[in-house]
Structure formats: C-alpha cells, structure tokens
C-alpha cells in the first residue's frame, strides 16, 4: 500500500460526510415549498448564514457555478419573493443580494421540519464538542475551497 493512500479514518470521514449530504438533501427537498428548488434553498441558507448582502459574482464563486447560472437562480428567487436585490449606490453595474422576510420564513420552515431529529441527536453531545466539529468541518471546507481556486 502506498504512503499516499488515505487512511481508513479519512475514507470513513468522507463516506459519512457524503451520506450526511445525501440524507440532508433528500430531507430538505421533501420539506421545500413547491416554488423553491434545492439549489435555491442553498443560496437562501448561504445568505442567511453570511449575515450580509452579497454580490452575484461572489455567490457564483462560493457555489462554484457560472455567473449566468447564479443570475438565473437569483432571478427565480427574486420572482418568488425569497430574496431582495438592490443596485449599488456607488456603482450602478453592481447588485447586492439579501434574503427577504419570505425567504427567511422558507428557511425557518424547512430547517424546522428537519430539526427535531437533528436536535435529538445533537442534544446527546456537549456544545463544545459540536463547536469542535464545526471547526473541523469549516477547516475541511476551506481546504477544499483553497485547492479548488489554485491549480493542481
């Protein structure tokens, strides 16, 4: 076996993350209102967790999609009343996107629908342990994002 081969622990971690992703996506998709798709929900979630207005280009980069694809997603969300887009007062070519009250309600309803099971599991662990897990997951995401942005 090569020294470059991932350890069984790393393989198990990747497996758990991918299965968790699949389960969450399925649960979220079932709880979404008819007019909101999973990709749109993920944008709402990103806007809500960022706590700030974001530009379409920055969102496209965050989701690793083209600006055109993000513009399409944002247009649908805006028509559904889930987000608010406003022009930049300094540079009229730029726009800023934020989650609307309706978008926050959608987010709250969907998260509320899947929260009872998550809350039950999370309640068995101390907050410090959950915080450590979040730190590790954030570091993994940052590492993958950094490697995505730099050539191999």
Q: Is residue 100 a part of any domain in this protein?
A: yes
Q: Is residue 34 a part of any domain in this protein?
A: yes
Q: What is the mean pLDDT of the chain?
A: 90
Res 118: pLDDT: 85
pTM: 0.81
140 closest CA partner among 132, 129, 152:
132
Q: 149 pLDDT exceeds 80?
A: no
- Which residue is it, tokens 């979404």? 32
Res 17: pLDDT: 94
79-96 pLDDT, tens digit per residue, is 999 999 998 888 878 899
Q: Is 119 exposed, middle or buried (0-12, 13-18, 19+ CB in 10 A)?
A: exposed
CATH number of domain containing 56: 1.10.10.10
Q: Is residue 52 a part of any domain in this protein?
A: yes
8-30 pLDDT, tens digit per residue, is 998 999 899 999 999 999 999 99
């Amino acid at each position: 076996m090569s020294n470059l081969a991932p350890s069984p622990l790393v393989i198990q971690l990747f497996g758990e993350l991918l299965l968790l992703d699949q389960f969450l996506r399925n649960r979220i998709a079932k709880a979404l209102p008819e007019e909101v798709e999973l990709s749109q929900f993920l944008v709402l979630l990103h806007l809500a967790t960022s706590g700030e207005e974001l530009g379409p280009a920055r969102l496209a980069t965050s989701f690793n999609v083209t600006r055109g694809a993000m513009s399409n997603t944002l247009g649908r969300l805006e028509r559904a009343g889930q987000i608010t887009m406003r022009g930049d007062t300094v540079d009229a070519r730029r726009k800023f996107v934020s989650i609307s009250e309706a978008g926050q309600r959608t987010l709250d309803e969907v998260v509320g629908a899947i929260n009872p099971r998550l809350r039950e599991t999370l309640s068995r662990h101390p907050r410090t342990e959950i915080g450590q897990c979040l730190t590790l997951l954030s570091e993994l995401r940052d590492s993958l994002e950094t490697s995505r942005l730099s050539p191999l």
